[in-house]
Amino acid sequence: MIASLLAATCRLVAGTMAYWRCEPHANTQRIYFGNHSSHLDFVVIWAALPPELRHKTWPVAGRDYWDRGVIRRYLATSVFKAVLIDRGAPGAARTRESAEAAISQMATAMGTEGSLIVFPEGTRSTNGEIGPFKSGLFYLSQARPDVELIPVYLQNLNRILPKGELLPVPMLSRVIFGPPLTPVTGEDKDAFLARARQALLALKATT
């Protein structure tokens, strides 16, 4: 009940219109990867999913933010069922061991039925542009080659809840679910990340 109410509230506040260029009700595991400009991003994607998929699709989020305070912790663990990742100290370079542990945690969390929402830029954009992708999406796709990779472009979220703001400004937004990223045998990391980012840029160009 709380999850349904929160999803409806999010759609109302963000004025979200969802557009699907893949099958919205597909009974397959997916990694939804989107551009990142607001703390509302994963909530908007999650709220736009069909109800039968929402309960088994979990956002990947930073433990340092979502495990801070009773309300955030409750939403993350009891409503969104978020996969909380330890990101280390702000500005500090992540060690190879911690990065591998995070990928393993995400891949394992999916199990045999779950899907994830991730943001490959790794940090929020302040100007609405899509930044370079970090390597996590590549290694996660290698760890779970059995799941679909779905690009998701979010429009206007950086204006509805800009970085540093606490309260959203109601206005219209769009969330566009693109077609699955086609697997390419033997593709290296840089080529994969460039192609995945281009998939988001292509969706942005249609808005």
pLDDT along the chain (207 residues), means of 10: 75 81 95 88 90 93 87 89 81 76 96 96 81 95 97 80 59 88 94 97 92
Rounded to whole angstroms, how far apart are CA atoms 90 and 107? 24
pTM of the complete model beyond 0.85? yes
**pLDDT (0 to 100) of residue 65:** 84
The two structure tokens encoding residue 124:
């929020």
Bridge partners of 58, per DSSP, are 116
Each residue of 45-71: b (16+ CB within 10 Å) or e? bbbbbeeebbeebbbbbbeeebeeeee
Per residue in 90-101, pLDDT (tens digit) is 555 678 888 899
Per residue in 92-150, pLDDT (tens digit) is 567 888 889 999 999 999 999 999 999 999 887 777 789 999 999 999 999 999 999 99
Rounded to whole angstroms, how far apart are CA atoms 115 and 134? 20
Element (H, E) at 176: strand 173-177
**pLDDT (0 to 100) of residue 82:** 93
CB 195 within 8 A of CB 151: no
List the domain boundaries for the chain.
18-174+187-204
Element (H, E) at 84: strand 83-85
Rounded to whole angstroms, how far apart are CA atoms 60 and 83? 5
Angle at Cα 11 formed by Cα 5 and Cα 16, nearest 5°? 165
Share of the chain above pLDDT 90, in %: 55
CATH top-level class for 18-174+187-204? alpha beta
**pLDDT (0 to 100) of residue 160:** 58
